[in-house]
Structure 1
Amino acid sequence: MAFEQYPAARPLAPDVWGGMAAALVAIPSAVAFGVAILSPLGPEAAARGAAAGLAGAAALGLITPLTRGNPILISAPSAPAAAVMGALAAELAAAGDAAGPGRLFLVALIAGVLQILFALSRGGRLMKYIPYPVVSGYLTGVGGLILLKQLPSFLGLPQGSRLVQVLEPSLWRAEALGVGFTAVLGMALAPRLTKRVPATVAGLTAGILAHVLFGLRRPEILQVCGNPLVVGAFTGAPLLSGAVELLRQALSFGAADWSAAATPAATLAMLLSVDALKTCVVTDAMTGSRHDADRVLAGQGVGNLVTAFLGGVPGSGTMGPTLVNVTSGGTTLRSSLAAGVFAAAALVAGPWFLPRLPLAALSGLMVVVAARMVDWESLSLLRRETTRFDFAVVAAVVVTAMGIGLVQAAGVGVGLSILLFLREQTQGAVVRRLGNIARWRSKQVRPPEESAVLEAEGDKVVVAELQGPLFFGTADQFLRELESCLAHARWAVLDLSRVRSVDFTAAHLLERVARTLAARGGRLVLCRVPAASPTGQDLSRYLRHLGLTAEGGSALMMGSHDEGLEWAEERLLEGRRTSRAPDRPLELAEFPLLRRRSADTLAALTAATREVKIPEDGSVFRAGDGGDDLFLVRRGQVRVVLPLAGQAGHHLATFGPGESFGEVAFLDGGVRTADAVARGECELYAVSRARFEEAADIHPKLARQVFSDLARQLALRLRQADADLGALKES
């Protein structure tokens, strides 16, 4: 299901109602976030913060939908922005920096630019690779910071109070506590009482009513001027002219100031991007649609850039307003634009209602938001030993965020992301299959005496299939798994077809293995090295450039696993063969199948055979062909391949001089079941079944002996087929 980006014939009313309901959720939170960010900068900054929050909600609501990454996404000032910008504002206030507002503006500006760069570099796809424990820890830390920073306002402490002063009950204001708790209860209980009124609206309304009730006893707390319990009158420059002043201030900063702003800006951009994409994932699940991550990030970046130029609070795609939009009927782009229009209307009406808002009520809303950001379920990770490391990651990010700062927590999060990645990569086995040539043989059909040598001395050839990434994190594991087999081996055949990547450390380790084998007179053989791995790395080229498999290098590279096995078998059999096929074509009497036959028998059989010459890569027969000939290889080799639809055939066997093939059709008279192709020029004897039966009528003993030998040969091949199937099952 795709998003309905264009209205088409759908009625307008559901989108308008959805947008209005979403705005009712977003606007109180935007005001609260704005106040939370700017209030540390001075008594009059709270009113400016409230206006900046509304400006952010209006700008983001009107701009971000236009990129159509997720048309029903409602963007507004959000908790990550409040945490990062609020922490920075507190630091600037503590340092007495008069240029604090300008520096906040600069951070928001850079964050918007970074989000646009994320989109242009298709970074939306990379955000999902941030490990969940890191995201959980970061959001929990953000929630904790928001909670701590809201306590002074929640308790009615004067602006600029230090956090330690919340421990002094004598400074608490009963009116503020009452208003704050009422707002918290209203926001928490509203969803249980009614679905029609958004929780933020219910909480803010409850807080305002409590503030009014307290004002009946103490009328001074209802005043706007000089009242520390309300937002207060906005006495600074108008919003737009104030934004121009912030821009001038930012442009006057030097390179050091821009550099100092880059780190918190990067943290802010990353958090806002993750928050927006997380909301998109949830809406996809609800609506059965798919968002465009890069378009979403582009919209967020442009929206935050415009917001910064208006002097507003940056934000992201927010979960609460977006869900309200969907459940209230919003399905198209018009719903998110409607939310922006309602936010703009609130901004216009702001000078009338903003100064009278009680700070404790806004803090109550923030307390609930902060509590909901905490991932309480992460505590369950402590119950099981297998998940305690994940809890340690969450805890490390939370402690860093709350004890040192969000910027430092971002660094810890990145570092832990790398550690989690390395942990995941090193947990799997590098060696997928391990054995020797006695267990995994090539497809070359060999006489019994050669098979006996391979069986007896097979441990001199190590055969292994590797998988996953070969890098510094898995190199030691690879060596440990292989070293016991390599202790007495002279050759090693490694199948790299399932290897995703190789780094210099792993390549150096392969070089060490190759040199060790070379010192024993052996060789390392690398088979099926991917030219295009899943990661995009050309492994064959990389190993060649490092000199490992280059001409004169310490390792050989072969195209197929069977080719490597056959090469190793030939090296092992050198000097151990009791007999060797002559260079000339074999005569009929030299075939094991027909040895010790009388001259009359051979003469009768000769009459049933014909000589066949096949050029290189020529076809002896194809699967599905008719024919009842049994073929005997006089010279050269023949590969038998089982054809597979849509892919390369499966290599069944290779037959050399003295071997026979084609016995299935010879015995049952059916069609050929595989392809037989000459591997180089070869010469064959073809024994016709019909003419063989004529000879058998004269020499019945010949028929019994030939069929007995064929049965024994088929039995041996069936045993080998069983072994191959077992190896295939293991893989």
Structure 2
Amino acid sequence: MEKKSIFTGRYAGYSFQSFKKDLLSGIVVGVIAIPLGMAFAIASGVNPEYGIYTTIIAGILISIFGGSKFQIGGPTGAFIPVLFAIVIAYGYESLLLAGFMAGIILLLMGIFKLGSLIKYIPRPVTIGFTSGIAVIIFVGQVSNFLGLTGVEKHESFLPNVKEIILHIQTVNLYSVLTAVICLATVILTPKIIPKVPGPLIGLLVSTVVASVFFPSEVATIGSTFGKISNKLPEFHFPEITFERLQLLIGPAFVIAMLGGIESLLSAVVADGMTGSKHNSNRELIGQGIANMVTPLFGGIPATGAIARTATNIKNGAVSPFSGIIHGVVVLLVLILFAPYASTIPLASMAPVLMIVAWNMSERHVFVSLLKTKTADSLVLLATFLLTVFVSLTVAVEVGLLFAVVLFTKQMSELLITAKVLPDPDHKDEKVGTHMVTDIHDCPQISIYNVEGPLFFGSAQAFEQSIMNTIHYKPNVLMLRMGKVPFMDTTGESYLSSIIKDFSKQGTVLISGMKPHPISVMKKTGLYDYTGEEHFFEHTGEAIDFSLEKLDKNKCLGCQHFAFKECTALSAGIEFHKAKIDKHEEVLKQL
């Protein structure tokens, strides 16, 4: 059944008309993917053909095995800082192994159905590191845009900025002119000819201008990386040693997390555009398979590409065939036209990547989150700054930790513990905090409203608020817990401390408790310790039970009158008679 759903379920009702739509969208996306694949590879510190290999292999495998009908996979800008850092620190061969390991991690995440966990990563964290990556990509292309020479590439952001400043006097005006022509063409093409991919036209126009008018004045892909071969990639398994595995497990995990996040975000975007529903765990399996196979042919890590996926949908794609066709188109271009790509100036590639960085920066959301001036703003800013000035790994780790701590603090503040008493002016005698005053409070019965999640972040404050206000040792402690939706074992531990401590002198009653907290108490044995007879569905029933536990002698002369029965009890009238009078009064009203 599963096999059928993977390979045939997404092609139900497929027709020749559907294939024509997939063919068109596949060709368009394939043409767009070629310059991007080369640009991402160059920015990642590897030869441009490796980006093309990735586009072909990963693009086809992600479409076949992934969980989205419309996902287009391949190299993306989000990976650039991570991959470049790995290449600088460990070398290209280690990048292949790290990518392979990341594929295994993604595959295992999909098999063990962890796809849904990625959606719990806070949005400020994803916006923070995405914006940070955009800044790194943009600044990283300044040297190519200006045609600077003698610039040494570094793993960190600030040394790279320093290199640009130190070599700013080596500006090549021919490179600047080439870059400006490409940039203008990329920006104007969609406005003039919306159906034609701007990056491709920009590269073609600027390359022709540079080749005709100043052929030897600007650095090209060929002069920098050598001629691009039109041969198919050869199979090569990266060397594996225990030391290398230890060294690369951290980078591999970052690649896997980043790939998983971006691919599922892309799938969600596709769902929103088409009304479809992707399978997150299957998507991770597809991403895992692609990232395990691609390095064996020299390719770099890949994931779902949001912009190319959106373009795929806008051009009429109806099935994963469009993604497969896109990979085949790139393969044909590699075989037929690869040598010509060697003449593309690096200055032409820079604007393409700068526009990618600009589009992925989420600048409007970034500014909007900052303006809220909330804890989310702090998480956003911390993640962004750490991504730019430290590393993406540290940024995500600290951002998540920061988000968890702030969320825990906010949730702990939601727990409210307040002393209450019945309001006789309310038709249902609802309890309220306004009824408790210095002269209107029962010395023998203490009733508390407990509202909010009772968990590790709020449990201690809950215990202290109860214990600090019952120092006068009442006979009955009643906890109204109908608005406690959740209780963890830490919360149970503190509740247990209250119950066991108070039970030495009096009785603890609990009313309105939800199923989840009750199940926790049953598992720990606290439910049986408290006694089933001490749990009530309604507060009124618990109050009636409490009145039975009163020391009638202490009620004589009491002037607090916290309950309706108190008038009779204070006067020494038999308690049961007071209850009968209460019932008679109710019957008269009826």
Aligned partner of 1:338: which letter? I
Summarize deviations over 1:37-60 as a string: whole Å, max 9, x none.
134xxxxxxxxx211111111112
Are positions 1:525 and 2:509 aligned together? yes
- Normalized per residue, which structure has more strand? 1
Change beyond 3 A, Cα 1:238–1:559 = farther
The residue aligned with 2:34 is 27
Q: For the residues of structure 2 that align with 1:107 and 1:322, how far apart are their CA atoms? A: 25
Instruction: Indicate the residue corresponding to 1:309 in structure 2.
Output: 296
Correspondent of 1:341 among 294, 304, 328: 328
CA contact (8 A) 1:70 1:296 kept: yes
- Count of aligned pairs: 542
Q: Is the 8 Å Cα contact of residues 325 and 335 (structure 1) preserved in structure 2?
A: yes
**C-alpha distance in 1, partners of 2:174/2:299?**
30
Of 472, 476, 490, the residue aligned with 1:491 is 476
Task: Give the partner amino acid of 1:8.
Answer: Y
Q: CA deviation at 1:75?
A: 1.0
Give the structure 2 partner of residue 436 of structure 1: 421
**Alignment deviations for residues 485-527 of structure 1 (CA, whole Å, 9 cap, x no partner):** 53544422224444343344433432443355346x2232334
| Offset, 1:479 | 4.4
TM-score relative to the length of structure 1:
0.67
Q: Distance in 2 between matches of 1:457 and 1:137?
A: 52
Are 1:560 and 2:541 counterparts? no
Partner of 1:140: 131
The letter of the residue matching 1:568 is S
Whether the 8 Å CA contact 1:136–1:375 is kept in 2: the answer is yes
Residues 85-124 of structure 1 aligned to structure 2 (within 5 Å): 85-92=83-90, 100-124=91-115
Kindly indicate whether the alpha-carbon contact (under 8 Å) linking 1:493 and 1:527 is maintained by their aligned counterparts in 2. yes
Separation in 2 of the partners of 1:475 and 1:351? 65
Answering whether residue 334 of structure 2 is matched by residue 327 of structure 1, we say no
In structure 1, what is the equivalent of residue 156 of structure 2? none
Q: Secondary structure at the match of 2:74?
A: strand
What secondary structure, in the 3-state scheme, does the structure 1 residue paired with 2:226 have? coil
Quick one: higher RCO (CA 8 Å, sep 6+), 1 or 2? 2
**1:540 aligned to which of 521, 527, 539:** 521
Identity of aligned residues (%): 22
Q: Alpha-carbon deviations, 1:162-197, whole Å to 9, x = none?
A: 422311322222222222232233223333333111
Query: More helix per residue: 1 or 2?
Result: 2
Q: Structure 1 residues 567, 344: CA separation in 2 closer, same or farther (over 3 Å shift)?
A: farther
Which residue does the alignment assign to 2:393? 407
2:342 aligned counterpart, secondary structure: helix
Query: Could you say what the CA RMSD is over the residues aligned between the two structures, in angstroms?
Result: 3.6
**Mapped partners of 2:555, 2:407: distance in 1:** 51
Aligned mates of 1:192, 1:125 — CA distance in 2: 39
**1:438 CA displacement:** 7.0
Q: Is the 8 A contact 1:529 1:539 kept in 2?
A: no
Matched, 1:192 2:177: no
Q: 2 CA distance for matches of 1:338 and 1:298? A: 21
1:372 maps to which of 350, 359, 363: 359
SS at match of 1:35: helix
Q: 2:226 aligned to 214, 217, 232, which one?
A: 232
Q: Output the amino acid matched with 2:83.
A: M
Q: For 1:265-280, what aligned pairs fall within 5 Å after superposition?
A: 265-280=252-267
Q: How does 1:240-259 map to 2 (within 5 A)?
A: 240-241=233-234, 243-244=235-236, 247-249=237-239, 251=240, 253=241, 255-259=242-246
Unaligned runs of 5+ in 1: 40-48, 93-99, 445-454, 579-636, 638-654, 662-708, 719-731
Shift in alpha-carbon separation, 1:713–1:338, aligned structure 2, 3 A: same
Larger Rg: 1
Distance 1:303 1:374 in 2: 26
Instruction: Report SS of the residue matched to 2:247.
Output: helix
| Structure 2 unmatched ranges of 5 or more | 1-7, 154-159, 430-438, 557-575
Q: Alpha carbons of 1:401 and 1:224: their partners in 2 closer, same or farther (altered >3 Å)?
A: closer
Please give the per-residue CA displacement for 1:661-699, whole angstroms capped at 9, x wherever unaligned.
9xxxxxxxxxxxxxxxxxxxxxxxxxxxxxxxxxxxxxx
- Quick check: 1:74–1:336 contact (8 Å CA) kept in 2? yes
Q: Counterpart of 1:713 in structure 2: which amino acid?
A: V
Alpha carbons of 1:7 and 1:365: their partners in 2 closer, same or farther (altered >3 Å)? farther
The answer to whether the Cα contact below 8 Å between 2:489 and 2:520 also exists between their aligned partners in 1 is no
Q: Give the equivalent residue in structure 1 for 2:586.
A: 713
> How far has the Cα of 1:224 moved from its partner?
7.5
SS at match of 2:11: coil
Amino acid at match of 1:14: K
Report the residue type matching 1:90 in the other structure. Answer: I
The aligned residue for residue 170 of structure 2 is 171
Aligned residue among 32, 46, 55 for 1:57: 55
**Of residues 392, 408, 428 in structure 2, which corresponds to 1:422?**
408
Q: What letter matches 2:401 in structure 1?
A: G
**Alignment partner of 1:356: what SS?**
coil
The answer as to whether partners of 1:16 and 1:335 remain within 8 angstroms in 2 is yes
